[in-house]
Chains A and B, each alone.
Chain A
Amino acid sequence: MKTLLNAVLVLAAIAGATHAHAQQGHLNVTTIVQKEEVVVDENGQQSTRLVAAAKVVPGDQVVYTVTFANVSDEAADNIVITNPLPAEMTYVEGSAFGPGAEIEFSADGGKSFAAREKLTVPDEQGGQRQARAEDYTHIRWVMREQVRAGSQGVAQFRARLN
Chain B
Amino acid sequence: MTRTDCKPSWLRTGAALLLGTAIVAARPALADGTPAGTAIDNTAVVSFELGGTTITQSSNTVTLTVDERLDVAIVAQSPQVLVAPGETDRSLLFTVTNTGNGSEVFTFLMDSSLPGDDFNPTPAVPAIYFDTDGSGDFSGGDVAYTPGGNDPLLAPDESVNVLVVNDMPGGFPNGSTGLSQLTVTAATGSGAAGDNFPGQGDGGVDAVVGASGAAASASGEYVIADVQVTVQKSVAVLDPFGGNEPVPGATLTYSVTVEVTNGGTATNAAVRDAVPASTTFVPGSIELNAVALSDATDGDAGELDTSGAPTVVVRLGDLTQAAGIQTVTFQVTIN
Contact = CB atoms under 8 A, between A and B. Distances in A.
B49 interface: yes
Nearest to A86: B40
A77 B49 contact: yes
Contacts of A59: 69, 210
Contact of A162 (B33, B54, B68): B33
B224 to A, nearest CB: 44
A68 interface: yes
A27 to B, nearest CB: 6
Interface string B215-235: 000000000000000000000
Contacts of B278: none
Contacts of B210: 57, 59
A82 B61 CA distance: 13
Given A55-B205, A162-B33, A23 B60 contact: yes
A25 B51 CA distance: 14
Interface string A26-61: 110111110000000000000000000111111100
Given A23-B58, A76-B49, A155-B44, A33 B32 contact: no
B33 A58 contact: yes
B323 interface: no
Given A30-B59, A81-B46, A162-B33, A53 B66 contact: no
A102 B122 CA distance: 69
Interface string B68-105: 11000000000000000000000000000000010000
Interface in B122-181: none
A112 interface: no
Interface residues of A, number: 41
B192 to A, nearest CB: 13
Contact of B59 (A66, A72, A74): A66
B33 A80 contact: no
Contact of A80 (B47, B67, B208): B47
A80 B32 contact: no
Contact of A58 (B43, B63, B66): B66
Nearest to A83: B44
B201 to A, nearest CB: 9
Given A58-B69, A74-B50, A79-B47, A23 B34 contact: no
Contacts of B101: 57-58
B38 interface: yes
B59 A88 contact: no
B48 A80 contact: yes
B187 to A, nearest CB: 18
Interface size class, chain B: 35 or more
Task: Give the most central of B34, B40, B58, B62: most A CB within 10 Å.
Answer: B62
Nearest to B34: A88
A21 interface: yes
Task: Give the most central of A58, A82, A162: most B CB within 10 Å.
Answer: A58
Contacts of B61: 20, 31
Contacts of A27: 46, 48, 55, 57
A33 B62 contact: yes
B60 A30 contact: yes
A83 B42 CA distance: 8
Contacts of B22: none
Interface string B20-47: 0000000000011110001011111111
Interface string A79-115: 1111110101100000000000000000000000000
A39 B69 CA distance: 22
B48 A78 contact: yes
Identify the 3 closest CB pairs spanning chains A and B, nearest first.
Answer: A58-B33, A20-B60, A29-B59
Given A26-B50, A33-B62, A161-B66, 9 more contacts: A29-B58, A33-B42, A54-B63, A55-B67, A57-B67, A57-B208, A77-B50, A82-B45, A88-B34
27 contacts: A20-B61, A22-B59, A25-B55, A26-B50, A27-B57, A29-B59, A30-B60, A31-B61, A54-B63, A54-B64, A55-B66, A56-B64, A56-B66, A56-B67, A57-B67, A57-B68, A57-B69, A58-B31, A59-B69, A68-B46, A76-B49, A81-B44, A81-B45, A82-B45, A88-B34, A88-B40, A161-B40
